[in-house]
């Protein structure tokens, strides 16, 4: 993946992503986040992908904004979320100016791996 094309990952894997990671239990992560983020808070998930973490967070009562640079990943999220419990946001995680206000920001799993330059990684973390 090239840092000049942040959408390539999603184009390549959106249709199989949930199959590949179906066996990963996000329960412990959700428990960890739930113990640190106040109930009802607004949570911004960077690299939301298909919503494996965002959808359960929304079901737990959080307002969740799911940011991803991949229209294909966001399409998968929207297809799984007909009631729009997660707000999809098409933007680049390496550009913090695109981040909406949130009480907590989470980045789980492959996000930093897919930001392939130090500049992009530092941009995400700034």
- Domain with residue 21: its CATH number is 3.40.50.150
Cα–Cα distance, 17 to 22 (Å, whole number): 8
Residue 68's nearest CA partner among 85, 92, 38 is 92
Q: How many domains does the chain have?
A: 1
Q: Are 106 and 114 a contacting pair, CB within 8 Å? A: no
Q: Is residue 1 part of a domain?
A: no
Q: Could you list the residue range(s) of the whole structural domain that residue 62 is in?
A: 8-125
pTM of the model: 0.81
Q: How distant is the alpha carbon of residue 59 from its chain centre?
A: 15
The predicted pLDDT at position 2 comes to: 39
The predicted pLDDT at position 29 comes to: 86
The predicted pLDDT at position 25 comes to: 82
Averaged over successive runs of 10 residues, the pLDDT of the chain (126 residues) comes to 56 63 80 92 93 93 94 92 95 89 88 73 75
């Amino acid at each position: 993946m090239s840092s000049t094309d942040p959408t390539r990952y999603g184009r390549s894997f959106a249709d199989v992503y949930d199959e590949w990671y179906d066996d990963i239990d996000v329960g412990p992560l959700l428990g960890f986040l739930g113990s640190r983020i106040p109930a009802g808070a607004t949570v911004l998930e960077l690299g939301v992908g298909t919503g494996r973490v965002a959808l359960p967070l929304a079901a737990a009562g959080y307002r969740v904004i799911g940011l991803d640079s991949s229209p294909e990943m966001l399409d998968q999220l929207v297809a799984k979320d007909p009631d729009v419990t997660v707000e999809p946001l098409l933007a680049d995680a390496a550009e913090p100016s695109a981040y909406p206000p949130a009480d907590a920001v989470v980045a789980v799993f492959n996000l930093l791996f897919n930001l392939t330059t130090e500049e992009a990684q530092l941009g995400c973390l700034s």
